[in-house]
Amino acid sequence: MFIRNNQKKEIKIRSLEGYKFFIPTGVSAIWNKAGEHLLSIHKIEVVDPRPPKWIKGINEGGDGGARIPAIQEVTEKDWVKDGKKMVRVERFPINPNLIKADALIELASERGVEEKLITKWLARKNVEPSEITDVLNNMPIPEEIIYPIDLNKDDNTE
């Protein structure tokens, strides 16, 4: 998915599926799930084409249809033209003081931590949450999230 950040600064998603996303200005490629989430937040529900009519500091007219959302979906052609930028992705750090060990073990299982480690944690009565979060926070980010687009693909887009 390709999106355009219309703001003058980077936009951040603090946590989505355990990752942080940093969207630079201009056009960039982003993991589809994160792009869809951003587009659901940064959208214009209604555009009122009537001209603004200010009465005592309150706009009782429309917006002239001029509002532009912070994020817009664009095409691959726009992405290539703007320099093939990617959204920066980092792992969102899990705080061991906020989540119980049982829930962290379940999360570790969902995120693909080795069964051997999970079995070890389940066998121990008093596993420290920090031990589990250390493993979770140091897991690599999947390539398809960092690079949602094949950069080696032909530049011949129509």
Is residue 149 scored above 90 in pLDDT?
A: no
- Angstrom distance (rounded) from CA 156 to CA 158: 7
Is residue 9 scored above 50 in pLDDT?
A: yes
C-alpha torsion 67→68→71→74, nearest 10: 140
pLDDT in tens, 73-121: 899 999 999 989 999 999 999 999 999 999 999 999 998 899 999 999 9
**pLDDT score for 15:** 78
pLDDT in tens, 16-74: 888 999 999 999 999 999 888 888 887 665 566 667 777 777 777 766 555 667 788 89
Single-letter residue type at 97: N
**pLDDT score for 157:** 45
- Angstrom distance (rounded) from CA 99 to CA 127: 13
**pLDDT score for 86:** 92
Close Cβ partners of 147 (under 8 Å, ≥ 6 residues apart) = 29, 86
**pLDDT score for 158:** 42
For the packed helices 101-110 and 115-123, what is the interaxial angle rounded to 10 degrees?
A: 160
- Angstrom distance (rounded) from CA 13 to CA 45: 21
What are the structural domain ranges in the chain? 1-48+65-92, 93-139
Please give the model's pTM, rounded to 2 decimal places.
Answer: 0.72
pLDDT in tens, 123-133: 988 899 999 99
**pLDDT score for 151:** 62
- Angstrom distance (rounded) from CA 46 to CA 99: 40
